[in-house]
Chain A
């Protein structure tokens, strides 16, 4: 007699299992197949090509009505199972039919997760799981000017977005994490993917938090983000993850964790009930891709037939099915001890490949742009092959015999022809290449014929690289000092490439400049962050994690881990009220040391990190802001009393100092920048050893630059003498900007002037009024973004609150009775 087999769910996993059972032991079973969807098994993976129009639904049907009929399967499609009684061994369908089984298979798949945002139940909010969802999206394409928002920048979300876009819909992807597909891709590959999607017109917002879905009369209107942005849309697709569909099993009293517990034979906690697919949990893992489900199907079929079989979890790989975005990810690509990365980047082709090696084995791989050999690498990982023999050439794939080495010239080669190589003289890449092709085969010859590199010299490195790219082996690249071991480029080259290549984020910069590590090191990250901050004010989002702790928490760390706090006192001027507020704060927060600094202001030392926001709040109430005594940026402007009080004073040195500090506070620079304005050549404010010092004289203002009184003692040199205060301000701001734009990170102005020459600096500022004004204008433009008191942001708006509180305090946990 035939045994009754009931299967709940006609999805991809049970479909494969059914084929196996019918194939190997068809005569023993009387099969009834329930499915909540009104159809049989189709290839769910291929919904994306259906959505984008590359396939039709008919083409993706796995089991047709004919097939079921020939196989003698009783189909109950569009009918859900409502209940399982494992004692009576029966199931009850939603229509009330009761059927008994000998064996039951639960294959209910998973449910898309819907974030319970206000408005999630509005009409127009859908998931991306089945044919019905796909049809909703396709229908939107025929509406003129249709807009859609996809929440979730993972595999499903991006496939939905690409499909909608292909249907002519205006799509925005809203993703909560910093980069797309963060579970499968590292930042670099995430950046390239984002670029490819943006290029095809899909808007992508990362680090974006959804707050509310708004609608009119139950009909969706827009998505609201927590920063206030409103994204109008006709359809909102939530693709933020799936949850195993365990409700039936749970109600039936089966063992359920994240999914329905199954053993290695796919048997649940009840011997007559088996389960497979996305609804199960095996050895702590749940599943979201089909490859392991097909393995489960084979094992489940064997178990039903009564043959031994064991399900073993294996590595799975991910590919995105968006035409034109080739990406592949497999295994574990986290950094770690004993792990080594091999990174290959080709900025010109938009290729990024990363292999992660542990011991003699390949354990992970991420590829973007060129996935041709991905299966070979996948095989190496799955089989745990020893790769020590081919390590050197591994990156180049199976067909390698003699591939290209990493190319330090790639970033320059990838620049567009009109990219500016020499800012001083306005010379583009094509001009330089033309000069080289016309016979200028040395740096000096290029300087002479094209003028490139003939001024500050900051672009010499790039010109040399162009010589090398154009002439090949005929040009010997000179040795140079690179930023750090993560790159072959020098600071000057990096600075210039960021501007010429319009690089506006850290992952973009690292990709386009061929960084050899996935995310840099403590040497290059702060430098890159500064170069990006300086190049793209208002556009680049500062990366606090690339800043030294003082700049991250806006206070100076002390040797015992406490901090010191120095409020700004413009030009060294304070008031009784400010002094009282400082005294009150010192009392309130038990500040152990209050000191007058060498920079004409007051330092509160020994403050606990947690107290920082509170003490800033109090100081802020008295009108004070951060003195940025920690910043690679503007520090102090020291002044003397000048004409206000001193019998020798020639100009209002105090007033000019205050004006300078008002304009300059908040600015970031390659290193600290200190000023002083002194009322006469007696120099009580020590202006002659500052980065920029002004000595007031009867006839006006002497502007001195490049002084220092730290590790090196250097007298500042005369840049110019001007007649009016306004000129003094313009020259000063122009000088600061020239230094900000040109110097290498951690070089004080004197080091930079040594390199470019004081004459060149004079040329830029004194001899060239238009350029001077342009520099000052750029300075003021960028200041509108940087003159935000970091203390107020943290004390009042709660920015970076996590920095100031311990995660947990376990020192006073109640101790259980012994």
Chain B
């Protein structure tokens, strides 16, 4: 439940309106680039932008349902799990985030070692 979220563990990265439906935007973090997706029905997901040597930059792919097709080799990833679909073998890190009053909050785990301690 949203009321149980500890706000100090999340970072406000912008509004839902900043990302068009079926679009994606990149967030630069100490843990690398992360792509934040908004689906046609306004769900949001954050997953790594790159699977080095295999796929990326995923924010540039074509979205359908809760999947995205990678622009380089047409691999299809499920945005919820980060797992490549079909015969392809790959797994992207998925980051926790949530939406509140139109704003998007991303887990501060993306700050990695530089993580703000409070």
Question: Contact residues of A with B, CB < 8 Å?
Answer: 178, 182, 186-187, 283-284, 333-337, 339, 517-522, 525-526, 545-549, 552-553, 557, 559, 561, 802-803, 805-811, 813, 815-816, 818
Contact = CB atoms under 8 A, between A and B. Distances in A.
Contact of B26 (A283, A337, A525, A806): A806
Contact of A521 (B60, B64, B81, B110): B64
Nearest to B11: A810
Contacts of B63: 545
B19 interface: yes
A440 to B, nearest CB: 41
A522 B68 CA distance: 8
28 contacts: A178-B21, A182-B41, A186-B40, A186-B41, A283-B1, A334-B39, A334-B66, A335-B65, A519-B40, A521-B69, A522-B74, A522-B76, A525-B62, A525-B64, A526-B62, A545-B23, A549-B71, A561-B50, A802-B19, A806-B27, A806-B33, A807-B36, A808-B13, A810-B28, A810-B29, A811-B28, A811-B30, A813-B11
List of 6 A-B pairs having minimum Cβ-Cβ separation, nearest first: A335-B65, A807-B25, A522-B69, A337-B80, A549-B60, A545-B22
Contacts of B57: 557, 561
Contacts of A334: 39, 41, 43, 66
A802 B23 contact: yes
A546 B67 CA distance: 13
Contact of B29 (A547, A548, A811): A811
B116 A815 contact: yes
A335 B41 contact: yes
Determine chain A's interface SS by DSSP, over half rule.
Answer: loop
B114 interface: yes
A549 B23 CA distance: 11
B10 to A, nearest CB: 12
B72 A816 contact: no
Contacts, number: 120
A815 B113 CA distance: 10
Contacts of A186: 40-41
A151 B89 CA distance: 48
A815 B117 CA distance: 8
A335 B22 CA distance: 12
Contacts of A559: 72
Contacts of A816: 116-118
A553 B62 CA distance: 13
A401 to B, nearest CB: 32
A811 B71 CA distance: 25
A336 B1 CA distance: 19
A810 B64 CA distance: 28
Interface of B: 1-3, 11, 13-14, 18-23, 25-30, 33, 36, 39-43, 50, 56-57, 60-67, 69, 71-72, 74, 76, 78, 80-81, 106, 110-111, 114, 116-118
B27 A284 contact: no
A87 to B, nearest CB: 28
Contacts of B69: 521-522
A552 B63 CA distance: 13
Given A519-B40, A808-B13, A802 B20 contact: yes
B41 A557 contact: no
Given A284-B2, A519-B64, A802 B18 contact: yes
Nearest to A563: B60
Q: Which of A520, A546, A807, A811 has the most CB of B within 10 A?
A: A807
Nearest to B65: A335
Given A518-B65, A519-B64, A546-B62, 11 more contacts: A284-B2, A284-B3, A335-B65, A336-B43, A337-B81, A525-B62, A545-B22, A559-B72, A802-B18, A806-B33, A808-B14
Given A519-B65, A522-B76, A807-B13, A187 B114 contact: no
Contacts of B2: 284
B80 A336 contact: yes
B111 A557 contact: no
A520 B63 CA distance: 10
A283 B3 contact: yes
Contacts of A545: 20-23, 62-63
A282 to B, nearest CB: 11
A818 B78 CA distance: 38
Nearest to A179: B40
A80 B31 CA distance: 56
Contacts of B114: 813, 815
B87 to A, nearest CB: 15
A810 B1 contact: no
A813 B66 contact: no
Contacts of B110: 810
A373 B96 CA distance: 38
A818 B111 CA distance: 15
Nearest to B57: A561
Contacts of B27: 806-810
A154 to B, nearest CB: 14
A688 to B, nearest CB: 33
B43 A807 contact: no
A333 B41 CA distance: 9
A181 to B, nearest CB: 12
A805 B1 CA distance: 32
A800 to B, nearest CB: 8
A134 B106 CA distance: 44
Nearest to B49: A561
A271 B62 CA distance: 54
B39 to A, nearest CB: 7
B27 to A, nearest CB: 5
A805 B111 CA distance: 20
Contacts of A811: 28-30
B103 to A, nearest CB: 12
B60 A557 contact: yes
B43 A810 contact: no
A813 B72 contact: no
A818 B64 contact: no
Contacts of B71: 548-549, 557
Nearest to B78: A337
Contacts of A283: 1, 3
Nearest to A803: B23
A187 B117 CA distance: 43
